[in-house]
Structure 1
Amino acid sequence: MSEAETLLSVSGVETYYGKIVALRGVDLEVRRGEIVAMIGANGAGKSTLMMTICGSPQARRGRIVYDGTDITQMPTHEIMRLGIAQSPEGRRIFPRMTVMENLQMGAALIDPKYFEDNLKRVFDLFPRLKERLHQRGGTLSGGEQQMLAIGRALMSRPKLLLLDEPSLGLAPLVVKQIFDAIRELNENEGLTVFLVEQNAFHALKLAHRGYVMVNGNITMSGTGMELLKREEVRAAYLEGGRH
């Protein structure tokens, strides 16, 4: 795999909370134009990895390289300026701000000349947000808030979109809408996506490649389809293979 094809490389990364080890020598890569999924049980370390990539907390050991730049010890705001955007776990929109104000916050780091184009792109993807433009974020449904969190991330025109548990707590129909939107962004625009997800079935069906994390370690990797067929994945994450 050449440097040019690898957009994000994580090598031997260890992250701690105080003296507690959260990530134990994690190695993975995300190539340009891919959707890569990481699955694992709650508490496996998936969100910690996502936050470590974004610089908070910082890795104590190992190396994170994004688009040829070592970002391991960079502060979060500098990492975001390089073209990474995150839709965090729990959505974390600004509840007192309107939909429009939330989207403006997402666009804060980029040239204002792109604003209208970016807004159109978000509304094409999530027409519901256009209908709710002047509503406060806190009054939206869970699904609408997730759309807003992803839309806010897209307003910065990222090269790499990080999605942390995008289906959490959402109804199946809304989950399908969210995953369809992710697929559309990837297929139509070539956007590179790294998502961590408890919903293994949806995530692996969507992803080109996937990783399984258990207790801060990567225990398996392969194409999405390969992992879906693995007996241990089916038993642990797909309710005994009933999907």
Structure 2
Amino acid sequence: MTTGSEDLLLSVRGVETYYGKIVALRGVDLDVRRGEIVTLIGANGAGKSTLMMTICGDPRARAGTITYDGRDITGMPTHEIMRLGIAQSPEGRRIFPRMTVLENLKMGAQLVAPEHFEGDLKRIYDLFPRLKERAAQRGGTLSGGEQQMLAIARALMSRPKLLLLDEPSLGLAPLIVKQIFEVIRELNRTEGLTVFLVEQNAFHALKLAHRGYVMVNGNITMSGTGAELLKREEVRAAYLEGGRH
């Protein structure tokens, strides 16, 4: 994997984000290169989801810059950022509960040329056979695991260059978590999909990722390859004890 600046897809530099007067992110620096899976781990409330939302423009960074594919997106509105080839599967599986699985997938494909739809749908059904079985079922009646699959699948229907995944394993059974992480690995391996993953499940996330960052109280405190961070005593003590689900 090359590491030149031309391969830098997402660059976060000195980003500060506030909720009112409360500082949520404190000068965050982070890079995601093309073709990488990069994970951000940390305890609940560390600021991980805030960083992902800041990348998407809501909330806005109050200081620092966010560059995507060579373009400064720091001040851009969310809908314009999404049009640049970024797709997000947010925390909490925010699908459209009254729509069917197929209708949810169609919503994800709105920015893509219609002639790609059937081929993309087949690809999604190959990745997530359960969604094909549930195609006519309302999203809100699916199990938690199926809703997470749908949230990721809907994001993939937009043909993103960068997939942002926020806590994909949250509240799911270990077997479902394993399936979802295997799909992410397969998409990266076969299609070169670039993934930025925010996760509390540090063991699975670091096993999957090429590189990782650790966030504590809105600060990046450590970075390295996934394998390096798995071996770090501080990481093991804080995030991995009893965490191998």
Please give the alpha-carbon distance, in whole angstroms, between the structure 1 residues aligned to 2:122 and 2:81.
Answer: 26
Structure-2 change in CA distance of 1:174 and 1:103 (3 Å) = same
The partner residue of 1:81 within 80, 83, 97 is 83
Q: Which moved more, 1:233-242 or 1:154-163?
A: 233-242
Matching of residue 69 in structure 1 with residue 71 in structure 2: yes
Does the 8 Å contact 2:204/2:244 carry over to 1?
A: no
Per the alignment, residue 132 of structure 1 pairs with 134
The answer to whether 1:155 aligns with 2:149 is no
Is 1:234–1:241's contact at 8 Å kept on the other side of the alignment?
no
**Aligned partner of residue 4 in structure 1, secondary structure:** helix
Determine if contact 2:203/2:244 at 8 Å carries over to the other structure: no
Aligned to 1:206: 208
Cα separation, partners in 2 of 1:229 and 1:182, compared to 1, 3 Å = same
Q: Check whether the contact 1:234–1:240 (CA below 8 A) recurs between aligned residues.
A: no
TM-score (norm 2): 0.97
Deviation, 1:147, is 0.3
| 1:110 CA drift (Å) | 1.7
Residue 239 (structure 1) aligns with: 241
Q: Which residue of 2 aligns with 1:93?
A: 95
Aligned AA (1:100): L
Indicate the percent of aligned positions where both proteins have the same amino acid.
85
Distance 2:122 2:32 in 1: 28
The answer to whether 1:184 aligns with 2:186 is yes
Aligned to 2:224: 222
Q: Secondary structure at the match of 2:94?
A: coil
TM-score by length of 1: 0.98
> Is the Cα contact below 8 Å between 1:3 and 1:68 reproduced in 2?
no
Tell me which amino acid in the other structure corresponds to 1:76. T
State the Cα distance separating 1:3 from its structure 2 match: 2.6
- Given that 2:202 and 2:243 are in contact with CA atoms closer than 8 Å, whether structure 1 keeps it comes out as no
- Deviation string, structure 1 residues 172-221 (Cα, Å, up to 9, x no partner): 00000000000000000000000000000000000000000000000000
TM-aligned CA deviation for residue 242 of structure 1: 7.3
User: What amino acid is the match of 1:130?
Assistant: K
| Match of residue 110 from structure 2 | 108
Name the amino acid aligned to 2:173: A
Over aligned residues, Cα RMSD in angstroms? 1.1
The verdict on how the C-alpha distance between 1:229 and 1:103 changes in structure 2, with shifts beyond 3 A counting, is same
- Alignment check: 8 A CA contact 2:101 2:134 kept: yes
Deviations 1:75-111 (A, max 9, x none): 0010000000000000100111100010011111121
The residue type paired with residue 79 of structure 1 is I
User: Shift of residue 117 of structure 1?
Assistant: 1.5
Superposed CA deviations along residues 147-192 of structure 1, whole A, max 9, x for unmatched, are 0000000000000000000000000000000000000000000000
Question: Aligned-pair distance for 1:39?
Answer: 0.3
Q: Which runs of 5+ in 1 are unaligned?
A: none
Q: Take 1:209 and 1:101, find their aligned partners in 2: how far apart are those partners?
A: 35
Structure 2 segments unaligned to the other structure (5+ residues): none
